[in-house]
Amino acid sequence: MTKRSRSEPTGEDLLATRRKLPIWSARRALLREVAAAETLILTGETGSGKSTQVPQFLHAAGYTEAGAVGITQPRRVAAVSLARRVAAEQACPVGSLVGYAVRFDESFDRRPPKRGGTAIKFVTDGMLLREAASDPLLSAYSALIVDEAHERSLASDVVLALLKSAQARRRSANGGGAGPLKLVVMSATLEVDTFCAFFDGAPAVQVLGRSHPVEVLHAAEPCEDYLEAVVTTVLQIHQLEPAGDVLVFLTGEDDISAAAAAIEARARLLPATSPTLLPLPLYAALSPAAQMEALAPAPPNTRKALARARLLHTPAVLATNIAETSLTIEGVVYVAYHAARRVDSLLQLPISRAAALQRAGRAGRVSAGKCFRLYTERTFEARPPSCNALLQRPPATPSCNALPCRLARASVDDLEEATAPEVLRRSLSATVLSLLSLGVKDVLSFEFLTPPPADALAAALEASSSHCAPLTTAARSRRTAACSPGCRSSRSTAEPCSPRGAGVSLGRCSPCSACCALFHSPHSHREAADESRLRFRSPGGDTLTALHVVSAYDAASGGGKARGEGRRWAEANFLNWRTLETAVQVRTQLVATARRLGLGDGDGRVPDGVASAAQPLSSEESVELRRALAAAFFLQAAVRRPSGDYVTLVSRQTVSIHPSSALFSRRAPCVLYNELVFTTRLYMRDLTTIEAAWLAEVAPHFFKSGAAAAATGAAPSAGQPRMRIHGGGSFR
Ligand code: CDP
């Protein structure tokens, strides 16, 4: 993480700020409630001080004498920034009394708090799951706070179920002397009843009051082109409103780049005397350092310079929903967003009312603010809220006639009350793998907050059995989960198809998972950037192309010894240097994990990723690597039809190759894809060419030979039955 120079507030300033937070005056009552109940559900408006203050209250009340107080966050950037803020409030360096642990980055003292270790620890939901894998009782903690529970991410739902079971075990004789585990489940707008019922009638309390008022304005008419509306609104805020930074929510990286370019171009047309407008992107694929950069204030040297910088530069942070919760972006006074949000695919859906309230709350964090909704008030209000006692509705607001929305058909449906839980929205494979790694034997009976559909769960179990077959022991799945950057690539790292495959996949393939954002293509140098892309293109597809780029980067940066050289090389080749650095870092960590777990070749050796990846791949290695990928991603195979389009082997969907793929103009007969995205049609992205025959070899329990031919419509030859899906059922 980079350190920014800034004028740090003093301890006294911070204490004064803390005292003004709505939760401060409720702290004694809150502590009484915590003492009386094993689990407490806490609601309160965004900015009331829940995330920063509740852990400090518990610490001050002595809970940390028996173990750390942990606070889970859905997003790593929030975990890190909250740890920094609370450390500042406690006047200690991050990593001492207050620390954090997020994937690939941690700063905390492992000793028990009463021996000087970290007492207040911010973690992502995913990190807590990992901790629970080795210590299901979570015995290092005396209390856990689950923040932003209303988001209902898969990881946080699973965390809640695990915490409930850890509480029960710690209550019983099996608790191993760990003592009781306090739990506080909190959020701004919450399905309180669901949580109270899940925790057997746990009490719920609400903190009233918001720190600063936010004026909410709606578009007078629906907007047809939301990007255009965003850009014009930002320009209007910049020209017409008093000083203050702008936070804009967009649906994804592409829209952010387009909006940034448009804002930059329009800002150039402003009179020379006009203050500068500075678009800053913020999305999850940015490196952690770049994310923190967007959150930091413009670097001031003195207070006077700060005032000047604020006057001269109005940062407009263009963010995805990463900034929806638990983030305080200093200086933000204006928030603008449309109702569109992006889901797992590139499909856009309306945000929920709960998310809209969260977004508006981003404007009132540090001072009074304004929220510009780029959709009509009718859209927001159309659905009567089902559980509105806790939702403080925004006051009746004037319509924002100055907004640039033309009269057009409504572009979004009326908003749902809350976003559906992730468990009902996406593939459950990752969850199943996590549960298995935690030793949950009967996944079908796992106590979910909202049980997923039984058939989706069964399909996920089947997929996991295919990945890890025969998956009978918790140890194997634990190993797979520990080693994998994501469920889908686990087998290429933890379950290589040959000893040599282990070397190839561990030393070479692992960084590829972080390489999807390698190339960038500035408008002004599009042709040169395209040429660079062509230079690296591998006939094996996008993953091998990414690998080729990382190998070349390793060579250019002397295996990490000459990072400056590496950076210059990356810039000259239109490559994202930060992404390359992240890829190398991820690889180093995966290699270390693999060594720790004793994975590797026949002699247990794991190649040093940096050294081995610096060499170009031989054709044998290319085959080995692609076979290893086939072993990992066989569920994501597609074959070309005589008509030229593709059909996915498992879901039998008609798909096309995404135009950004290295394989767009050379259509291999059989490919693996990393993801399916829907824009105008269903596209496969991040492709690798494979031989169709490998599928039956690497996953014989899943495919029978001839499957690919059958799927393309060609008649299967005698003795080659059509593909069938394995019945599973061996792991109840
Ligand atoms: O969790 P909740 O939304 O209720 O509030 P919080 O995150 O505890 O934030 C309370 C206040 O702390 C904010 O209004 C900010 O003034 C400040 N804060 C900050 O300056 N930097 C952070 N990273 C987090 C909070």
Q: What is the pLDDT of residue 704?
A: 63
Q: Is 434 helix (H, G, I), strand (E, B) or coil?
A: helix
Q: Which residue, judged by its Cα, is nearest atom 18 of ligand 1?
A: 328
pLDDT mean over 168-180: 80
Whether the per-residue pLDDT at 701 is higher than 80: the answer is no
Whether the per-residue pLDDT at 64 is higher than 90: the answer is yes
Whether residue 470 is preceded by a cis peptide bond, meaning omega within 30 degrees of 0, is: yes
Q: What is the pLDDT of residue 700?
A: 75
- Distance, CA of 395 to CA of 27 (rounded, Å): 28
582 alpha carbon – ligand 1 mean position (Å): 28
466 alpha carbon – ligand 1 mean position (Å): 45
Scan for tokens 């839980």, then name that residue.
421
- Distance, CA of 515 to CA of 524 (rounded, Å): 23
Residue among 251, 340, 284, 255 at smallest CA distance from 516 = 284
Per residue, the 3-state secondary structure of 612-671, as one string, reads HHCCCCCHHHHHHHHHHHHHHHHHHEEEECCCCCEEECCCCCEEEECCCCCCCCCCCCEE
Contacts (Cβ under 8 Å, ≥6 apart) of 501 = 624, 625, 627, 628, 631
Class of domain 214-380 (CATH, top level): alpha beta
> In which band, very low, low, confident or very high, does the pLDDT at 492 lie, cut at 50, 70 and 90?
very low
Q: What is the pLDDT of residue 102?
A: 92
366 alpha carbon – ligand 1 mean position (Å): 8
Of the candidate CATH numbers 3.40.50.300, 3.90.1150.10, 3.30.70.380, 3.40.1670.10, the domain formed by 11-207 belongs to 3.40.50.300
Q: What are the tens digits of pLDDT across the range 411-454?
A: 334 455 555 677 766 666 766 776 676 566 677 778 888 887 77
Q: What is the pLDDT of residue 101?
A: 95
- Distance, CA of 368 to CA of 124 (rounded, Å): 30
Same fold, 11-207 and 214-380: yes
* Atom of ligand 1 lying closest to residue 326 CA: 7
- Distance, CA of 525 to CA of 535 (rounded, Å): 16
Whether the per-residue pLDDT at 562 is higher than 70: the answer is yes
Contacts (Cβ under 8 Å, ≥6 apart) of 264 = 279
Q: What are the tens digits of pLDDT across the range 320-365?
A: 666 555 555 666 667 766 665 544 333 444 556 666 666 666 655 5
pLDDT mean over 265-282: 81
Ligand 1 pocket: which of 75, 98, 291, 365 to mutate (most atoms <8 Å of CB)?
A: 365
What single DSSP character describes residue 69?
A: E
- Distance, CA of 645 to CA of 654 (rounded, Å): 7
Of the ranges 228-242, 322-336, 392-406, the best mean pLDDT one: 228-242
- Check: CB of residue 460 under 8 Å from CB of residue 429: yes
> Residue 114 corresponds to which amino acid?
K
Question: Cα 197 to chain center, whole Å?
Answer: 28
* Chain length of the chain: 732
Q: Is the dihedral of CA 310, 315, 316, 319 positive or negative?
A: negative
Q: What is the pLDDT of residue 657?
A: 92
- Distance, CA of 282 to CA of 322 (rounded, Å): 8
Q: What's the pTM?
A: 0.60
Of the ranges 207-211, 222-226, 669-673, the best mean pLDDT one: 669-673
pLDDT mean over 534-556: 86
Ligand 1 pocket: which of 27, 73, 85 to mutate (most atoms <8 Å of CB)?
A: 85
Of the ranges 233-247, 526-540, 637-651, the best mean pLDDT one: 637-651
pLDDT mean over 252-267: 81
Please, what is the average pLDDT of the chain?
A: 71
Whether the per-residue pLDDT at 190 is higher than 50: the answer is yes
Q: What is the pLDDT of residue 439?
A: 60
* Atom of ligand 1 lying closest to residue 84 CA: 23
Tokens representing 57 are 């209250």
429-437 and 474-483 helices, crossing angle to 10°: 120
To 10 degrees, the CA torsion angle through 23, 24, 29, 34? Answer: 70
Contacts (Cβ under 8 Å, ≥6 apart) of 139 = 67, 170, 176, 178
Integer CA distances (angstroms), 374 to 220, 314, 318, 484, in order: 9, 20, 15, 40
Whether the per-residue pLDDT at 646 is higher than 90: the answer is yes
Question: Cα 531 to chain center, whole Å?
Answer: 32
Tokens representing 129 are 């799951």
pLDDT mean over 130-158: 89
Angle at CA of residue 270, ends 269 and 276, nearest 5° = 115
51 alpha carbon – ligand 1 mean position (Å): 7
Question: With pLDDT > 90 as the criterion, what percentage of the chain qualifies?
Answer: 19
Within 6 Å (CB) of ligand 1, which residues are found?
A: 21, 44, 46-53, 81-82, 85, 211, 326, 328, 365-366
For the stretch 167-172, contacts whose Cβ atoms lie closer than 8 Å and that sit 24 or more positions apart, written own/partner, are: 167/38, 167/39, 169/136, 169/137, 170/137, 170/139, 171/38
Q: What is the pLDDT of residue 581?
A: 82
Alpha helices (H) along 37-153: 50-60, 76-89, 125-134
Q: Is the dihedral of CA 451, 46, 232, 289 positive or negative?
A: negative
Q: What is the pLDDT of residue 109?
A: 95
Of the ranges 114-128, 299-313, 519-533, 589-603, the best mean pLDDT one: 114-128
- Check: CB of residue 46 under 8 Å from CB of residue 190: no
Q: What is the CA radius of gyration of the chain?
A: 26
Residue among 235, 303, 225, 302 at smallest CA distance from 274 = 235
What is the per-residue DSSP string for 10-51?
A: PHHHHHHHHHHSTTGGGHHHHHHHHHH-SEEEEEE-TTSSHH
Which segment of 5-9, 53-57, 224-228, 482-486 scores lowest on mean pLDDT?
482-486
- Check: CB of residue 695 under 8 Å from CB of residue 630: yes
2 alpha carbon – ligand 1 mean position (Å): 21
Scan for tokens 């609400």, then name that residue.
206
Q: What is the pLDDT of residue 391?
A: 22
> In which band, very low, low, confident or very high, does the pLDDT at 256 lie, cut at 50, 70 and 90?
confident
Which segment of 395-404, 614-623, 627-636 scores lowest on mean pLDDT?
395-404
> Bigger pLDDT: 498 or 272?
272
Q: What is the pLDDT of residue 249?
A: 82
- Distance, CA of 594 to CA of 131 (rounded, Å): 18
Whether the per-residue pLDDT at 33 is higher than 60: the answer is yes
231 alpha carbon – ligand 1 mean position (Å): 28
Domain spans in the chain, listed from the N-terminal domain onward: 11-207, 214-380, 472-628, 633-712
Angle at CA of residue 730, ends 728 and 732, nearest 5° = 110
pLDDT mean over 555-568: 86
Scan for tokens 């569920």, then name that residue.
635
> Bigger pLDDT: 49 or 478?
49
Q: What is the pLDDT of residue 363?
A: 59
Which segment of 338-347, 626-635, 684-693 scores lowest on mean pLDDT?
338-347
To 10 degrees, the CA torsion angle through 628, 632, 635, 639? Answer: -20
> In which band, very low, low, confident or very high, does the pLDDT at 592 lie, cut at 50, 70 and 90?
confident
Q: What is the pLDDT of residue 650?
A: 74
Q: How many helices (H) and strands (E) does the chain have?
A: 26, 22
Whether the per-residue pLDDT at 568 is higher than 60: the answer is yes
> In which band, very low, low, confident or very high, does the pLDDT at 189 lie, cut at 50, 70 and 90?
low
Q: Which residue, judged by its Cα, is nearest atom 16 of ligand 1?
A: 366
> In which band, very low, low, confident or very high, does the pLDDT at 521 lie, cut at 50, 70 and 90?
low
> In which band, very low, low, confident or very high, does the pLDDT at 611 lie, cut at 50, 70 and 90?
very low
pLDDT mean over 563-589: 83
Angle at CA of residue 390, ends 384 and 392, nearest 5° = 75
50-60 and 27-36 helices, crossing angle to 10°: 70
Question: With pLDDT > 70 as the criterion, what percentage of the chain qualifies?
Answer: 61
- Distance, CA of 132 to CA of 128 (rounded, Å): 6
- Distance, CA of 375 to CA of 364 (rounded, Å): 20
> Bigger pLDDT: 694 or 361?
694
* Atom of ligand 1 lying closest to residue 207 CA: 4
Of the ranges 19-28, 245-254, 707-716, the best mean pLDDT one: 19-28
Q: What are the tens digits of pLDDT across the range 68-91?
A: 999 999 888 889 999 999 999 999
- Distance, CA of 340 to CA of 362 (rounded, Å): 17
Angle at CA of residue 176, ends 174 and 178, nearest 5° = 115
> Residue 449 corresponds to which amino acid?
L
* Atom of ligand 1 lying closest to residue 212 CA: 14
52 alpha carbon – ligand 1 mean position (Å): 6
Tokens representing 608 are 């040093």
Q: What is the pLDDT of residue 668?
A: 92
104 alpha carbon – ligand 1 mean position (Å): 25
Whether the per-residue pLDDT at 379 is higher than 60: the answer is yes
- Check: CB of residue 505 under 8 Å from CB of residue 496: yes
Contacts (Cβ under 8 Å, ≥6 apart) of 454 = 444
47 alpha carbon – ligand 1 mean position (Å): 5
> Bigger pLDDT: 129 or 469?
129
- Distance, CA of 426 to CA of 487 (rounded, Å): 13
* Atom of ligand 1 lying closest to residue 325 CA: 3
* Atom of ligand 1 lying closest to residue 365 CA: 14
